[in-house]
Structure 1
Amino acid sequence: MTFEQSGMSRRALLAAAALLPLPVGRAEASAAAPPSAKAYYDRAARLAGHDPVLRQLVKGLSPGAQMPTVQAPKPLRIFDNVAVVSTGFVSATALLTSQGVILIDALESPDQAEKIIVPQLRSLGADPSAIKYVVVAHAHSDHFGGAQYLADRYGARVMMSPADWALVARDSSPHVPKRDLDIAHGQRLTLGDSTITFHHTPGHTPGTVSPIFPVRWKGRRHTAMLWGGTNPPAATAEKRTYVSSVLAFAAAMRRAGVDVELMNHGMSDNGLVRMEELRAAPAGRANPFVLGSARAQRFMQVMEIMLRGRIATDEAAGTTARPAAMTASSSPACC
């Protein structure tokens, strides 16, 4: 049966083949060893090719990767209905609807909420008093730090997954928000003309959430995802959970027709660079956050392969034991 007869495109077959173990000698095929960590990392690099977004993802997921210190960008509407405010290290993403704002993440502190989120949203024509929901993508202080300030000042409801509400309850940060609304897997939240769908993607933390939501660029509709937490956890078992999350979310992306990729740490996916590209030529080129559905799927494939490499690195080093009980402050910081 040909690939046309099977209903699979050549591109789909090639993508599937990229995830198969690397070839070995025929005599050894029946007892082939699993790919080495380097084989996974090399495969991810080949799949990324010259794509700057995917190459940055490979870099960010490599062992020992460190996030550099960068200057905070000026705020920007990256879509007609999406605004981003950022410290450079971490960003908050505002979905602007006809009846208010859904804010994804709240930076690191009440001070940053007051001095960055509030005035910068105003500078983009968005009213911070219209923030109805603060969605905390995961329970690290650089994402929940300003949430309680926004709840107290504007009456915003704070949302987090149950697993991460439990995690943040053990955090020593003075900025932990009061427990408010739980986010269920598959939950849909509608505000005005927009509906956002939440997916539990555990891995970075036990309750990381990644949303899918509609965006518009020059009046044309697209569908965006925002990956909720990138840096792999320490424990190998949790890295395997992360791989499962990547596979499940990639399938959800296909079903939803996702063609836009976003992250809350713009250094991990070249997001800060793309902001400046868009700012420099807002009317003269395609929006660099619109990857197209095939490239968005390739983004997830690169992430999966890099995580499998990180698991192989653990196994080669004999470091697969689960660490002591995790707290929000002791789990892998940021990203």
Structure 2
Amino acid sequence: MTSPLPHPATALSRRRFTRLAALALTAGATTTATPANAATPDAQAYYDRARTLAGDDQVLLTLVKALTPGAVVPRPPAPEPLMLFDNVAMLSVGWVSAMAVLTDDGIVLIDALPSPEEAEDTVVAGLRTLGLDPRTIKYVIVTHGHDDHFGGARHLADQYGARVLMTGADWDLAADSGSPHTPTRDLDITDGQRLTLGGTTIHLHHTPGHTAGTVSPIFPVHTAGRHHTAMLWGGTNPPTTPAALRTYLSSIRTFRTHMHRAHTDVELSNHPVDDGLQRAEELRANPDGPNPFLLGTRRTQRYMQVMTLMLRGRLASATT
């Protein structure tokens, strides 16, 4: 796995790309927002500042829309598997995605989709489509204990011997969920833990708020001979109580510090709240062009600033 990975042979035709992009935009258009006059003045001021900061940046505008109270989670069609970077594959059912980080000694999977069937049909089949061997999945990092992220983990552990990691709090959350797909408790993630495989180190940071034990990874990626650093925010949908919103804001603040120290310049997401699926299709259609996931350090920080402002607006409403 040391040689550069080719782009998949499943490149979309212009017609199919246009159709999929249109469907994704249509799905995004179903997002609804609370009317401006329904927000408190203090909350609306934060939302307005977020939109101003976003400017005409489609990635940031999509995040604003996703975090606006009353937003509906889009349900875009599932894309074909795709190498986002030479060492990162996206395996998605549309509304939720898994990322496979490739190392010299195997694969680290970030999230595992909602069910064993989707893990098999999307993760396993997708890796094979990309010329990768699912038998080399060594670890499954579950960002948080909701079944759309852990649902396929037990299947991958049973089939390939993959070790499953989650925070202690979210192992408990998963166990209490009543899901028939909850994995057997395996490895606990500690805050700031480093998972190293094949010379690749993934830093795992506790970012509670979406759940008590949400984890957000920072890890190296490379493309065209250049090295970058990616982040993936582990849980986007905000909580509703003031205490939990303050916890969420504290997590954003701490994680931004980790991002700054790591010179993070790539943003990824496990849900389509960041225009990620549309960017993936742009990359598929033009694999030799600029990588749309490479935002640069300032823009990735702006992404988190926009998130902060939107959460402060929600907190202003919750405490009014």
State the TM-score bracket (shorter-chain normalisation).
Answer: 0.7 to 0.9
> 2:164, 2:186 within 8 Å by CA — same for their partners in 1?
yes
Partner of 1:211: 217
Partner of 2:74: 68
Secondary structure in structure 2 of the residue aligned to 1:277: helix
Q: Give the letter aligned to residue 290 of structure 1.
A: L
Instruction: State the Cα RMSD in Å.
Output: 1.0
Shift of 1:108: 0.4
When structure 1 is superposed on structure 2, of 62-71 and 151-160 the one drifting more is 62-71
Partner of 1:302: 306
Secondary structure in structure 1 of the residue aligned to 2:51: helix
> 2:98, 2:110 within 8 Å by CA — same for their partners in 1?
yes
In structure 2, distance between residues paired with 1:301 and 1:69: 26
In structure 2, distance between residues paired with 1:300 and 1:88: 23
The answer to whether structure 1 residue 271 and structure 2 residue 276 are counterparts is: yes
Gaps of 5+ in 1: 1-33, 317-335
The answer to whether structure 1 residue 259 and structure 2 residue 265 are counterparts is: yes
Structure number with larger C-alpha Rg: 1
Q: Give the letter aligned to residue 296 of structure 2.
A: G
Secondary structure in structure 2 of the residue aligned to 1:196: strand
Mapping of 1:95-174 within 5 angstroms?
Answer: 95-174=101-180
Partner of 2:318: 314
> 2:60, 2:303 within 8 Å by CA — same for their partners in 1?
yes
Deviations 1:191-242 (A, max 9, x none): 0021000000001000000000000011210000011010001222101100
> 2:240, 2:318 within 8 Å by CA — same for their partners in 1?
no
The answer to whether structure 1 residue 81 and structure 2 residue 87 are counterparts is: yes
Deviations 1:127-154 (A, max 9, x none): 1100000000011000000000000000
Deviations 1:257-310 (A, max 9, x none): 000000101x20000010000001001x21000000000000000000100000
In structure 2, distance between residues paired with 1:250 and 1:160: 21
> 2:84, 2:90 within 8 Å by CA — same for their partners in 1?
yes
Secondary structure in structure 2 of the residue aligned to 1:204: coil
Shift of 1:314: 1.3
TM-score (norm 1): 0.83
Partner of 2:8: none
Partner of 1:40: 46
Q: Give the letter aligned to residue 45 of structure 1.
A: R
> 1:96, 1:126 within 8 Å by CA — same for their partners in 2?
no
Distance 1:35 1:251, change over 3 A: farther
Partner of 1:326: none
Deviations 1:56-105 (A, max 9, x none): 00000000110122110011000000001100010000000000000000
Select 1:193's aligned residue among 199, 209, 213. Answer: 199
Secondary structure in structure 2 of the residue aligned to 1:36: helix
> 1:215, 1:221 within 8 Å by CA — same for their partners in 2?
yes
Q: Give the letter aligned to residue 304 of structure 1.
A: T
Select 1:245's aligned residue among 248, 251, 264. Answer: 251
Count, aligned residues = 281
